[in-house]
Amino acid sequence: MGGQAPLPGLSERQQLQKRCFDITFASIGLVALVWLILLAYLVASLDTRSHGLFAQQRVGRGGRLFTLYKIKTMRPRAHIHTTVTAANDPRITRIGRLLRRTKIDELPQLWNVLIGDMSFVGPRPDVPGFADRLGGEALAILSVRPGITGPATLRFRGEEELLAKQPDPDTYNRTEVYPEKVRLNLEYLRHWGLMQDVRLIWDTLVG
């Protein structure tokens, strides 16, 4: 009688390799880029007329909630409540579009990486309501720290533009985009290697 196939995932040794890499380069990145993070924070504070740091609860490793940090790029609109962001979203400010396009808004996540909430590479951390729906083999996605970048992030680099073309971005994201992200993340776990992470980071930087 055959047993159930094990879930894809990283061994303890692989997790240690990944964590050592994250701590080393997150430390270097924070020291080198703290001036840019502070400058972006000040600009965003003036641009959004509010606190320039965006903090949101996301689902991390093991399903544990953590606070993700980004530079704020949006102003609230009373009639818009979705967590899905399309390219034509009126909440995004002009400077916010620049920060998002250059990925400067993501730099505070180096702190998330350093303290162990995130990794440089991995599945993007979802808001509650998405990761909660994972089941079966897909639960393996919660066995690793979520990442700043990853194969699904690169595959959907133009996600905001893609969603902007859809008549119902929320539904399209749930039925088409999210399932494909799950598939890509599982493939990433099945074939993980440290050099694969390095290549994904490089593709993110030069893409």
Average pLDDT over residues 181-206: 94
3-state class (DSSP) for residue 165: coil
pTM: 0.86
Place of tokens 């409540």: 81
What does the pLDDT read at residue 197? 96
Is it the case that residue 202 has pLDDT exceeding 70? yes
pLDDT tens by residue, 10-54: 889 999 999 999 999 999 999 999 999 999 999 999 998 899 999
Amino acid identity at 28? I
Average pLDDT over residues 126-152: 87
The residue extents of the domains of the chain are: 12-206
- Which H or E run contains 18? helix 12-48
The token pair that represents 86 in the structure block:
């399309």
